[in-house]
């Protein structure tokens, strides 16, 4: 299934896509795709509800309506740094022996095609196409990767927007460079694992103004999604609906020679096989000052 949330920001309704142009409204069945929804196990009941409504013609055209992030604001957004061997190489850093963990503020989450705002005083705002994991059940001290796989509700395309000066040059606290408003576009949909297939064989790409900047594959991940979920569960409790951003392939602005960063006015377009595409307009804060 492909889960979506359709409507104006703050008023999205939950649904499932039948195809790229047709949605089944589930707002009378599900309040939202939030922590309570995933914790209830209701995800497993959706296929029959969707099939019944599709059979009776209870569908709607998507027709250019806004898509919000496919999950409501999560309990937490966790992120894995330097998780692609080729990205680690472009930044001149060693491949980590264990996952590097940092967090993003949950209020960074926006829809896949919403504007991305460059924060005040930013000089090094950057892009990162990423695979996101959505947790489907409470996970603590998971025994192995099989249990981790069972705890995954699905996968989502993410742009892990970053401010590199704040991330790297401000006493090494990555979260400061990751948590500005609009810094986590997600969607267009949450895809359940059965439709994703081999999660370690997905092509990834990102363009800036039509110029290809990132080309990669989840095949170069250092730590797989199931490894990450199992690993994190040993240190903290993952809650239903949590989002985990799993790292980016090469081609980020920081890795260019010379380095290139967003200034405002650009268009970012990105995608991952079977997870859809995003397009964001980059908007500079005109009140910014030195």
Residues 219-242 pLDDT 10s: 999 999 999 999 999 999 999 999
* Residue 123 CB coordination number (10 Å): 14
Can you give the pLDDT at residue 289? 52
Given CA atoms 203, 206, 210, 211 in this order, what sign does their dihedral have? negative
Residue 208 β-bridge partners: 211, 268
The rounded mean pLDDT for the chain is: 95
Contact between 99 and 88 (Cβ < 8 Å): no
pLDDT, tens only, 244-259: 999 999 999 999 999 9
pLDDT, tens only, 31-60: 999 999 999 999 999 999 999 999 999 999
pLDDT, tens only, 14-34: 999 999 999 999 999 999 999
Contact between 216 and 56 (Cβ < 8 Å): no
Question: Which residue shows structure tokens 């924060």?
Answer: 119
pLDDT band at 288 (very low <50, low <70, confident <90, very high): very low
Omega before residue 188 within 30° of 0, cis: yes
User: Helix or strand or coil: residue 230?
Assistant: helix
pLDDT band at 88 (very low <50, low <70, confident <90, very high): confident
**Alpha-carbon separation of residue 193 from 56, 225, 234 (angstroms):** 27, 11, 23
Contact between 220 and 85 (Cβ < 8 Å): yes
Residues in the chain: 290
């Amino acid at each position: 299934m492909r889960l979506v949330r359709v409507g104006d920001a703050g008023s999205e309704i939950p649904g499932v896509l039948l195809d790229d142009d047709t949605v089944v409204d589930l707002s009378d069945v599900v309040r939202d795709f939030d922590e309570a929804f995933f914790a209830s196990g209701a995800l497993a009941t959706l296929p029959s509800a969707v099939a019944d409504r599709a059979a009776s013609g209870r569908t709607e055209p998507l027709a250019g309506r806004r898509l919000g992030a496919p999950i409501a604001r999560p309990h937490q957004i966790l992120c894995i740094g330097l998780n692609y061997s080729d990205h680690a190489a472009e930044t001149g850093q060693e491949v980590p022996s264990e996952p590097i963990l940092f967090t993003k503020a949950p209020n960074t989450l926006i829809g896949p095609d919403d504007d991305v705002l460059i924060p005040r005083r930013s000089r090094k705002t950057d892009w990162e196409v990423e695979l996101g994991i959505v947790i489907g059940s409470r996970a603590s001290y998971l025994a192995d990767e099989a249990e981790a796989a069972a705890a995954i509700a699905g996968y989502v395309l993410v742009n892990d927007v970053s401010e590199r000066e704040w991330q790297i040059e401000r006493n090494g606290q990555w979260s400061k460079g990751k948590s500005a408003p609009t810094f986590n576009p997600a969607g267009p949909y949450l895809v359940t694992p059965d439709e994703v297939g081999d999660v370690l064989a997905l092509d990834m790409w990102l363009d800036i103004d039509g110029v290809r900047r990132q080309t990669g594959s989840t095949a170069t991940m250092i730590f797989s999604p199931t490894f990450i979920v199992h690993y994190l569960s040993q240190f903290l409790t993952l809650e239903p609906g949590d989002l985990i951003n799993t790292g980016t392939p090469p081609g980020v602005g920081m890795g260019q020679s010379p380095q290139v960063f967003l200034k405002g006015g650009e268009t970012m377009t990105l995608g991952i096989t079977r997870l859809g595409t995003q397009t964001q307009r980059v908007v500079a804060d005109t009140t910014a000052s030195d």
